[in-house]
Structures are given as structure tokens and as C-alpha cells.
A and B are shown apart, each in its own frame.
Chain A
Amino acid sequence: MIWPEGYINQLGLDAEQQLNVDLPVIFQRAYIPTVAGQSIITLPSYVRSVLRVCWMGKKLEPVSWEELILLSPATVGGLVETSQSRPQWYAMHPTNPWDIRLYPTPNETFTPTGDPYSPILNENQCCISFLRDIDSTFADVTALLPAYIDRRSRKAYILWKAFAAEGKGQNLNASEYYASKYNFIVSQFKAINNYCFLSKRPSLGSGDLEVDNFRYPRPTLPTQFERTIY
């Protein structure tokens, strides 16, 4: 055997991490527990990006941490809680990457139960839609890449790195070959699933009303505008 099994397993995990970065497309929904009086919710570490947060079936507006400070000047993580009510906004925590803060602070305690893919009217749940990492344990089939991509991309990545490693198995020609295969597979998958990569944009809002979206009008004028050619 050229490479020890432990090294191949290590490269297998590396491949998975690289695919998490290159193909953030695994969508899931989950009910998350909330406690009345606690505005900070810590999401599971496999969450890569939050697409949507719903409180009792209604979407909460995403705001930046700075905007949340404007809404509630005493925004300081979960150290100072605001008045309790039905949450209307949420923001990602600036330093704790898996924390989100709801505002106003929730006034109800919810325990996850039921099917988050079939939400019901006024349900007593806080539901998040998110893109997540690949399930390393392979236990959750909905958290894996499709079969026609997963095995091929992992294999190409492992061989790319293994052939590049110093030692008796080094073959830079082979490494380059598998690198091109890996990049080919990833780019092809992006091409056939373009819509996956659009799903993050709509969660940012309508795009029309925010102050940052204003720009001076720049009409395209005719080339002879305000000139007289004799």
C-alpha cells in the first residue's frame, strides 16, 4: 500500500470540508428550542448560512448587527435582554458565528416537535431554513450531496492530494490530472444546479427600499447629445 489508511481517511475528511466550501447547497429546515426571556439562540455547528427564520409561521426580517443596535441601543449579545414580545427581527451575532439574536426578546418558550417541512398556521415553533454542511456520519441522507457527485468528487480530491504528497507515491502529473477532474465535477454541478446558488440572495430582502441600494440615475444618452455637428 502506497499510503497508510489513516492518511487516506484524513484526506477523505479534507475532501468533505472542501466540498462544504465549494458546494454549499444542502438545504434543511429545523425547529429550534426557544426560552422566554432569552434573545440569543445558538444554532448547530453544521449550519453554514441562515436563509430564513420564522416565528409562529411568520418570517422575521434579517438585519445587520449595526441595524439591530439602532433598533435596540442596549444590544450587547445576550448580556442585556430587551423588553419581551413577539420577535420581529433577527441578526447574526458579530463574534459568535452560530448565535442569532432575536428582537424583541421572545416572550414564549417553544419545544421542537412536528415536521418543519409542513409548517402550520400560528404553530408554536421557531423554524429556521438554512444551508448546512455534509453529514460526516452519513446517517442523514438528506444532508448528503447527490450520489452522482459525492463519490466522484471525493475520489478525485483524495487522489489529487495523495499524489501531491511527499513520499514514494508522489506523482505530480497524476495530481494535476485529479485536480482538474475535481474542479470539473464541481463546476459541472454548479452549472446544472444554478438555482441553488440563488437561494441566498432573496433572503436579503426586496433590494429596493434599503438606503444602501440608492444610486444616482445614470441614463444612457445618445452619442450626439448636446452637440451640434455641422
Chain B
Amino acid sequence: MTRLDLQTRLRNYFNNNAYYSGDDLNNSIQDGLDEVVALSGCVYASATMSFTAGTTYYDLETLLPNFIGLVAIFNNTIKRWMTPISLRKLDGFRIDWEVVGGTPWYFWPVNYRYIAIYQKPLIGTYGNAFVFYVASAPNPLVDSTTLPIPDDHMQALENYCIADLLEQQQEFTKASGAFKAYAARLEQLRVLMKARRNKDRLASLK
């Protein structure tokens, strides 16, 4: 479904086609898509990240402008996946783990922005890693942009837009109903995206 398709659906819902301008609808769709994609994690991306000599903490939000959350890291120099680990375990390795040089085998996701690696390369030509991450929605959208949400869960976005447009007209009772529908559909989308990572376990979720 494209942005234009969703705009048409919203116009059908609101019946009076002149009530909301095209800009109103497009702004709402963009806003909604940003939120749905960020909260459901339904867009994935990958990028190459060079290891920097001596750097322990990497600011992924600066390195990858559409970064939302980390999924995995592959050390392309040794051709091995890096292992996620906690600060507690790193402290258990050694009290000065932050300054230790060597082959990066572990990463600690610090927060929504930073990761720390252990050990860190001390030479500038060490190599790079492939970073797999949850990405933000395309911005800005155009009419022909295909919205990166499965069609059977597009109602999450549609309900967001309905709630957003109704609250602009201070129709809070109606908006509240649409918002509840949006929250429920968003949860379904998130469950779907998590289940997709483990397709063979879908049956056990029922």
C-alpha cells in the first residue's frame, strides 16, 4: 500500500473530502508511520561499521542516522558473530575491560544510542563489522512510497491517523476510541514482527 492509497482510505473514512487538506493527511501519515515503525520494529536494515582504533563505545545513532535498536553484529575481520553480553559479565572478565585491546568478540548494548565492544582493536586498519538493526521509517514520504508495514496490519497506521486527525478537531471521545484500536493493532504488529524472527516457533505461541 502506498501513501496515496492510505490517503484515499482516510478520505473515505472521513466522508467530507474537503474537511482535511492533503497536507493534513500527509503530515498525519508521516507522523504515524514514524511512530508505528519505531514502536513495532518492523523495518530492518544493515550497514558496515569500521572499527576505530581504541574506541570502546560506539554512538550508533550518530553513525547510522536511521538507527532505532540493535539486532546483531558480525565481525567481518574474523568472520564470526559477536556475542551480546551484560556489563556485569564484562566486569567479571576484568575490572579494566574498557581499555583492553584485542579481537572484538562481545558487545554490550548500553542504551538506545551506545554500544560498547570487548575487546577493542588498537590498530586503525583492523577492519569492519556488519551491523544489523531496527531502522526508522523513510522520511519524507511521497505519494508513490510503499509504506513498509504489512498490508494486513495497515490498520494500525490508519487508526493512528484517524485518532490524530480527530484530536486536531478536538473530537476527543472519538479520538480516544481510535487510539485504543491503534494501540491494540500495534501490539499485534509487534507480536508478528517478533514471531517472524522465529518462524518455526509460531505454533507454540498459540
Interface pair A196/B111, CB less than 8 Å apart: yes
Given contacts A146-B38, A148-B34, A198-B86, 4 further A-B contacts (CB under 8 A): A25-B112, A121-B99, A177-B176, A199-B111
Q: How far is the CA of A146 from the CA of B173 in the complex (A)?
A: 30
A119, A141, A174, A198: the one within 8 Å of B99 (CB): A119
B7 at the interface (CB under 8 A from A): no
A171 at the interface (CB under 8 A from B): yes
B39, B57, B99, B170: the one within 8 Å of A123 (CB): B99
Q: How far is the CA of A189 from the CA of B35 in the complex (A)?
A: 11
User: Please, which residues of chain B bring their CB within 8 A of the CB of A202?
Assistant: 86-89, 91
Q: How far is the CB of B33 from chain A (nearest CB, A)?
A: 11
Q: How far is the CA of A121 from the CA of B35 in the complex (A)?
A: 42
Interface pair B179/A193, CB less than 8 Å apart: no
Q: What are 24 A-B pairs at a CB distance below 8 A? A: A26-B111, A57-B99, A59-B96, A115-B55, A118-B52, A120-B54, A122-B99, A141-B62, A142-B59, A142-B62, A146-B38, A146-B61, A146-B68, A148-B68, A171-B172, A174-B167, A174-B172, A177-B167, A180-B179, A189-B39, A192-B41, A192-B69, A193-B112, A198-B86
Interface pair A59/B95, CB less than 8 Å apart: yes
Chain A contact patch, size range: 35 or more
Q: How far is the CA of A206 from the CA of B92 in the complex (A)?
A: 8
Interface pair A27/B111, CB less than 8 Å apart: yes
Interface pair A152/B179, CB less than 8 Å apart: no
B56 at the interface (CB under 8 A from A): yes
A3 at the interface (CB under 8 A from B): no
Q: How far is the CB of B188 from chain A (nearest CB, A)?
A: 14
Q: In this complex, what residue of A is CB-closest to B173?
A: A173
Chain A positions near chain B (C-beta within 8 angstroms): 25-27, 29, 51-52, 54, 57-59, 115, 117-123, 141-142, 146, 148-149, 152, 171, 173-174, 176-177, 180-181, 184, 188-189, 192-193, 195-196, 198-199, 201-203, 206-207
Interface pair B170/A174, CB less than 8 Å apart: yes
User: Please, which residues of chain B bring their CB within 8 A of the CB of A181?
Assistant: 179
Q: In this complex, what residue of A is CB-closest to B87?
A: A202
Interface pair B179/A59, CB less than 8 Å apart: no
B56, B61, B62: the one within 8 Å of A118 (CB): B56
B110 at the interface (CB under 8 A from A): yes
B183 at the interface (CB under 8 A from A): yes
B75 at the interface (CB under 8 A from A): no
Q: How far is the CB of B94 from chain A (nearest CB, A)?
A: 9
Q: In this complex, what residue of A is CB-closest to B120?
A: A118
User: Please, which residues of chain A bring their CB within 8 A of the CB of B56?
Assistant: 117-119
Nearest first, the 10 A-B pairs at minimum CB distance are A202-B88, A202-B87, A117-B57, A148-B38, A57-B99, A59-B95, A196-B111, A118-B55, A58-B96, A174-B172
Interface pair A29/B99, CB less than 8 Å apart: no
Interface pair A58/B95, CB less than 8 Å apart: yes
Q: How far is the CB of A74 from chain B (nearest CB, A)?
A: 26
User: Please, which residues of chain A bring their CB within 8 A of the CB of B88?
Assistant: 201-202, 206-207
Q: How far is the CB of A109 from chain B (nearest CB, A)?
A: 21
**1/0 per residue B67-92: CB within 8 Å of A?**
01100000000000000001111011
Q: How far is the CA of A119 from the CA of B98 in the complex (A)?
A: 7
Name, among A57, A117, A174, the residue most crowded by chain B CB atoms within 10 Å (CB to CB). Answer: A117
Q: How far is the CB of B42 from chain A (nearest CB, A)?
A: 12
